[in-house]
């Protein structure tokens, strides 16, 4: 459920016509709906309200500071994977005690900064990370909470590029790799092993793998408790899928039940790191047509938005609805078009084989489902400036990130 809708034949975000955003701020522009974001934050909270659960937003999904402010003010903590995400979260007003630090290769200076802030926990993903954490915590004389990130070798049944819980992926550690670390942890007085963590993949629709992963984690936590470690939490990562096209994801309650049925009997705290389910449908990418052209086999609509603003279709072959801002572009007499951007790559696609009336230069479209892994994955490839981002709240529009200027492209260069 979101607040992007039509009034008559004009597309709106809440009370604001998308056309007026284009007129004030140009395109391509990310448009977020605050009402949608608040609703998603609340609904997910509610689904877990019957049990001690800490919800840490996966900052990688949308890391714009004004956006994060809204998420954190709804009571969420943060799952960060770099010092950049950590500092952004602090700027957005997070309490460091609500930060979990994941990531497969944390650098010493990142660990040091997080440790000095007293974050909630580090998800340790390898033996070398444990060594480094031990060394830094000793030299700072600072005790630190750690969770061991496990790779349970469970197939999340999602796109291979966002599968993270298989033995062939770089994430976490297998049990055999963890066992020899336990004596080291036990002997190190600054390292507190407080939990176990996993994240088996993203955009999961089938809950069976998550259920299996939860059972695995419960067994592992139980074994650690038996061995005398004061385990107090199980972190199940993020990963709940959303509907982009014809997926039928579980309801939030069904998702919560899968996790809570497994975790509740342990009495341990549950931590989750949701990203997409919170942010995905809170945003669209508004884009205008530069021109339309045809080859013998294809018709192309060339938008001013591209893979540099929104990488998902190019990178994951992902499907996103693309809607006209003025809806009378669809109807009888349609043709089949590919929506593409101006970037010099054949992979620069935004939508393939879409049926619509032939548009004209200047017509506006908006791409749905861009609130997660949209702006946060934007790049400057082809020396394109990164887009403007606006947050709509009822009938007001706040620019939360200005469009980059050309000068920003070479601001750090020396020549
Ligand atoms: N926790 C960890 C440790 C993660 O690696 C991720 C996502 C999450 C939580 C949040 O997962 P979510 O709830 O959003 O599924 N760029 C890709 C998605 C990459 C996800 C990476 N890790 C995409 O656009 O589909």
Catalytic one of 13, 142, 344, 370: 344
Would you state the pLDDT for residue 330? Answer: 56
As beta bridge partners, residue 354 has 337
Q: What is the pTM of this model?
A: 0.97
Decide the pairing of beta strands 191-197 and 233-235: parallel
Centre of ligand 1 from the C-alpha of residue 238, in Å:
7
Coil, strand or helix at 398? strand
Tell how far CA 4 is from the center of its chain.
20
Centre of ligand 1 from the C-alpha of residue 375, in Å:
14
Coil, strand or helix at 151? coil
**388 in active site:** no
Domain borders along the chain are 4-32+280-409, 63-274
Gap between the Cα atoms of 415 and 399, Å rounded: 32
Mutate to test the pocket of ligand 1, among 129, 152, 199, 271 (most ligand atoms within 8 A of CB): 199
Mean pLDDT within 6-33: 98
Q: What would the pLDDT profile of 34-59 be if each residue is shown by its tens digit?
A: 999 999 999 999 999 999 999 999 99
Which atom in ligand 1 lies closest to the alpha carbon of residue 201? 15
Say how many CA atoms lie within 13 Å of 114 toward its Cβ.
Answer: 31
* DSSP-assigned states of every residue in 31-82: EEEHHHHHHHHHHHHHHTTTS-EEEEEEGGG---HHHHHHHHHTT-EEEESS
Would you state the pLDDT for residue 327? Answer: 87
**Residue percentage of the chain with pLDDT more than 70:** 99
Decide the pairing of beta strands 364-367 and 322-324: antiparallel
Centre of ligand 1 from the C-alpha of residue 318, in Å:
15
Write the residue with the smallest CA distance to atom 23 of ligand 1: 373
Centre of ligand 1 from the C-alpha of residue 53, in Å:
19
Q: What would the pLDDT profile of 143-199 be if each residue is shown by its tens digit?
A: 999 999 999 989 999 999 999 999 989 999 999 999 999 999 999 999 999 999 999
* Surface-to-core class of residue 355, CB atoms within 10 Å of its CB (0-12 exposed, 13-18 middle, 19+ buried): exposed
63-274 CATH, one of 3.40.50.11540, 3.30.420.480, 3.20.20.10, 3.40.50.10890: 3.20.20.10
pLDDT at 61 over 80: yes
Which atom in ligand 1 lies closest to the alpha carbon of residue 274? 13
Which distant-in-sequence residues (6+ apart) come within 8 Å of 87 by Cβ? none
- Integer-rounded Cα Rg, in Å, for the chain is 23
Would you state the pLDDT for residue 329? Answer: 60
- Banded model confidence at residue 9, pLDDT cuts 50, 70, 90: very high
Q: What would the pLDDT profile of 394-405 be if each residue is shown by its tens digit?
A: 999 999 999 999
- Residue from 309, 354, 273, 291 nearest 31 by CA: 309
Q: How far is CA 306 from CA 240, 303, 358, 360, 362, in A?
A: 26, 7, 19, 18, 16
Average pLDDT, the chain: 96
Mean pLDDT within 130-149: 97
- Banded model confidence at residue 1, pLDDT cuts 50, 70, 90: confident
Would you state the pLDDT for residue 331? Answer: 59
The CATH number of 4-32+280-409 is 2.40.37.10
366 contacts 18 by C-beta, under 8 angstroms:
yes
Mutate to test the pocket of ligand 1, among 60, 371, 376 (most ligand atoms within 8 A of CB): 60
Structure tokens, 60:
């990688």
Mutate to test the pocket of ligand 1, among 169, 275, 315 (most ligand atoms within 8 A of CB): 275
Say how many CA atoms lie within 13 Å of 415 toward its Cβ.
Answer: 4
Q: What would the pLDDT profile of 352-392 be if each residue is shown by its tens digit?
A: 999 999 999 999 999 999 999 999 999 999 999 999 999 99
- CA trace torsion 206, 207, 210, 216 (10° rounding): -120
Helix (H) or strand (E) holding 270: strand 269-272
Gap between the Cα atoms of 304 and 415, Å rounded: 30
Lining residues, ligand 1, CB within 6 Å: 58, 61, 79, 102, 162, 164, 199, 202-203, 237-240, 273-277, 312, 316, 372-373
Q: What would the pLDDT profile of 308-333 be if each residue is shown by its tens digit?
A: 999 999 999 999 999 999 987 655 68
């Amino acid at each position: 459920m979101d607040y992007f809708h039509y009034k008559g034949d004009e597309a709106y975000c809440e009370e604001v016509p998308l056309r007026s955003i284009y007129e004030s701020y140009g395109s391509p522009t990310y448009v977020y709906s605050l009402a949608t974001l608040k609703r998603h934050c609340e609904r997910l909270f509610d689904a877990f309200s019957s049990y001690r659960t800490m919800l840490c937003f996966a900052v990688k999904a949308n890391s714009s500071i004004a956006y994060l402010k809204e998420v954190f003010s709804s009571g969420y903590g943060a799952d960060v994977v770099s010092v950049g995400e950590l500092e952004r979260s602090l700027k957005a007003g997070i309490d460091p005690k609500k930060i979990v630090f994941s990531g497969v290769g944390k650098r010493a200076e990142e660990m040091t900064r997080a440790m000095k802030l007293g974050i909630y926990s580090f998800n340790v993903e390898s033996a070398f990370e444990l060594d480094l954490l031990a060394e830094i915590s000793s030299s700072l004389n600072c005790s630190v909470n750690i969770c061991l990130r496990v790779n349970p070798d469970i197939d999340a049944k999602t796109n291979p590029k966002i599968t993270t819980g298989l033995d062939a992926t770089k994430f976490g550690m297998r049990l055999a790799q963890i066992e020899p670390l336990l004596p080291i942890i036990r002997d190190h007085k600054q390292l507190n092993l407080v939990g176990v963590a996993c994240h088996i993949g993203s955009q999961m629709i089938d809950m069976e793998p998550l259920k299996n992963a939860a059972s695995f984690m419960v067994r592992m936590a139980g074994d650690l408790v038996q061995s005398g470690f004061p385990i107090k939490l199980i972190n199940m990562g993020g990963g709940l899928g959303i509907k982009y096209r014809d997926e039928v994801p579980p309801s939030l309650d069904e998702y919560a039940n899968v996790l809570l049925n497994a975790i509740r009997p342990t009495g341990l705290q549950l931590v989750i790191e949701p990203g997409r389910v919170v942010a995905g449908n809170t945003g669209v990418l508004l884009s205008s047509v530069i021109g339309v052209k045809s080859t013998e086999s294809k018709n192309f609509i060339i938008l001013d938005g591209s893979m540099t603003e929104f990488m998902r279709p190019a990178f994951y072959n992902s499907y996103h609805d693309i809607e006209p801002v003025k809806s009378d572009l669809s109807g009888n007499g349609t043709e089949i078009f590919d929506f593409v951007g101006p970037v010099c790559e054949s992979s620069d696609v935004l939508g393939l084989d879409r049926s619509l009336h032939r548009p004209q230069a200047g017509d506006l479209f908006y791409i749905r489902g861009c609130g997660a892994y949209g702006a946060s994955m934007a790049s400057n490839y082809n020396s394109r400036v990164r887009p403007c981002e606006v947050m709509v709240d009822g009938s007001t529009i706040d620019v939360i990130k200005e469009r980059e200027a050309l000068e920003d492209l070479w601001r750090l260069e020396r020549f």
